[in-house]
Structure 1
């Protein structure tokens, strides 16, 4: 069994993974309430919270899992906030000494890349290798607060980045847009809630780079367009238009993501489509990607909602699914410097 630790930002998370049966336990402590009054994550507070939470969490886990069965410790080594990563890495080092097992560093983005396949493994662990090979090459869309990229997976589970954002990430655009509209942190989910009662066709917001064959994403112009529109409205008019503004703004984000993914599907020979990252929890995006997969006649592997945000289950799974590729990061004392990029 593998025990994984995730602390890249404001979630203290631990999970235990058994290759024979899947995720057998996961524990997450969210810091949203702590950072809400500051309008965003405060790194020093987040690091302190990780320090205070991991000890009690491990004690709780020891009551339900036989830690002597753990054969490897996995820990996020980047990208993320340096102080937060350090807390997780220190915890992993200490635990590896106590249990006398090796510790391996895992890239946080690799966790997101493979998270859509957690349910595939759970459905039939014994045939997982054959199952994932049958849907390769795979086109994945990773959408989070800090990253927006298209990537491919071949039948050897090697990752190739095909396109990424040239400025803001999609999640960043949603959160910043919500902030411009006066919504508290975290704004993305609140915008989605307001959008549910609005008309997504009411306002035409820009949808980034439009050149044919250019798969890159861009969301900075969308945010600027929203600011200009807000400046022209009175407070009363803004409140009246809020549902339509939120729906149209969200639609512009989703439309660009789907359009670029569609271009990649047209030009590549992909046998499956994937969706992961924090923004993958957005209902409108999930539905749009389901429709896109049906259009091209390929299966969609979308990460379970509980595995779209920062979680340790995806870290454990990524460590197991791609052990050969992680050998170069194996160390008794991993740090957060070598793993700041996906590939």
Structure 2
């Protein structure tokens, strides 16, 4: 069964065709990063306008790149899937409307899926028989699983007693990890987006100064009483507001960090001072260890058969390295998405939709966007 997946929840316009929920036949992503860089973050109106301008081209490219072409019956589209939340409402509606129109014109079912749940499916999709994901069992045969979706908009730990069933057991109480990276990069003069820059600068710094003590930034402990309001255990929740405040105060007490260019060196392809690189590495480590601590605690709560990691921040090399060690110590297999599938993409949407075919029908065509959609409500 071939499903066309469409993704427009934030600042990527994406479409892909996936066979039987796993094998990626085509995958096209148009990123809007250059459009948002001057503003230091994603502007919803600009994102929506760019989606409108590019959606037809991206979908067309995903269909045209199929081999053999779409006109051959083996590559016919059997259903159209689309993200309907969570995300930016002006962006989501572009993808949903395009998906509705295309499904109607093709006379095939429409399947609306949850963006976060799609990220948790990304470790199971592949575009080469040599990929690690190609060797995995059917996800419905693996369970229970612990999932972590960590991105610019989400940092959430999810108990999956069986594939397709989700329960949030921990999450960020304020900023997502990716957002915390972006805000730090802006504060330190690194520009937007900050995740990749922070990763590369940190890796280069740690390699050059492996024994240098890091700045003791707080590791995301929520304020007492806050987690009770969220109805979640404190040991599985994280708050990055205190970390951001600590970084701001550190910069205020050391103004030369962002004012001086003396002694600039190349760290991971970016020209910064060793002092800035030191702070960047310290800040990243605080976030990574906060994620690792909550993951350890979550893994202790059940006899999980796998830990599923998805979302844009899962591309971070330090996140991958530390969580690999955490899972190894817990004797739980770590399933990570192929790098190209960590960010927002249509393949994860189409892949998940294969396992959610029962939610298609006329109701899907009446669906509206849900910017604050919760996990387990798709």
Note whether the superposition's TM-score is higher than 0.5.
yes
Alignment of 1:45-194 (within 5 A): 45-65=46-66, 66-67=69-70, 69-119=76-126, 131-194=138-201
* Of 251, 255, 268, the match for 2:302: 268
Deviates more, 1:207-216 or 1:159-168: 207-216
SS of residue in 1 equivalent to 2:167: strand
Is the Cα contact below 8 Å between 2:12 and 2:30 reproduced in 1?
yes
Are residue 285 (structure 1) and residue 315 (structure 2) matched? Answer: no
Aligned to 1:205: 217
- 2:244 aligns with one of 219, 223, 229: 223
Structure 1 residues 74, 339: closer, same or farther in 2, change over 3 A?
A: farther
Identify the residue that residue 314 of structure 1 maps to in structure 2: 348
Counterpart of 2:86 in 1: which secondary structure?
coil
> Residues 195 and 127 from structure 1, CA distance in 2 versus in 1: closer, same or farther, beyond 3 angstroms?
closer
How do residues 30-49 of structure 1 correspond to structure 2 at under 5 angstroms? 30-49=31-50
Deviation of 1:162 (Å): 0.9
Secondary structure (helix, strand or coil) at the match of 1:255 reads helix
d(CA) in 2 for partners of 1:304, 1:193 = 18
Alignment of 1:1-16 (within 5 A): 1-16=2-17
Deviations 1:285-313 (A, max 9, x none): 00111111111112110111111111110
For the residues of structure 1 that align with 2:332 and 2:194, how far apart are their CA atoms? 33
Question: 1:214: which partner in 2?
Answer: 235
Structure 1, unaligned stretches of length 5 or more? none
Question: What is the SS of the residue equivalent to 1:26?
Answer: strand
Q: Deviations over 1:41-62 (max 9, x none)?
A: 1211111111111222333344
SS at match of 1:8: coil
**Following TM superposition, by how much is the alpha carbon of 1:331 offset from its aligned partner in structure 2, in angstroms?**
1.7
Moved more, 119-128 or 259-268: 119-128
Offset, 1:32: 0.7
Partner Cα distance (2:361, 2:41) in 1: 35
Quick check: 155-164 or 288-297, which moved more? 155-164
| Displacement of 1:127 | 9.5
| Alignment equivalent of 1:251, drawn from 265, 279, 285 | 285
Question: Could you say if the C-alpha distance between residues 286 and 338 of structure 1 is closer, same or farther in structure 2, counting changes exceeding 3 Å?
Answer: closer
Residues 81, 14 of structure 1: alpha-carbon distance in 2 compared, 3 angstrom cutoff: same
1:296 corresponds, among 315, 323, 330, to 330
User: Cα 1:207–1:59, aligned 2, differ >3 Å: closer, same or farther?
Assistant: closer
Determine if contact 2:6/2:99 at 8 Å carries over to the other structure. Answer: yes
TM-score w.r.t. the length of structure 2 is 0.83
Cα distance between partner residues in 2 of 1:20 and 1:299: 21
Is 1:305–2:339 an aligned residue pair?
yes
1-structure distance, mates of 2:13, 2:326: 34
1:172-196 Cα offsets, whole Å, 9 max, x none, are 1111111111111101211222212
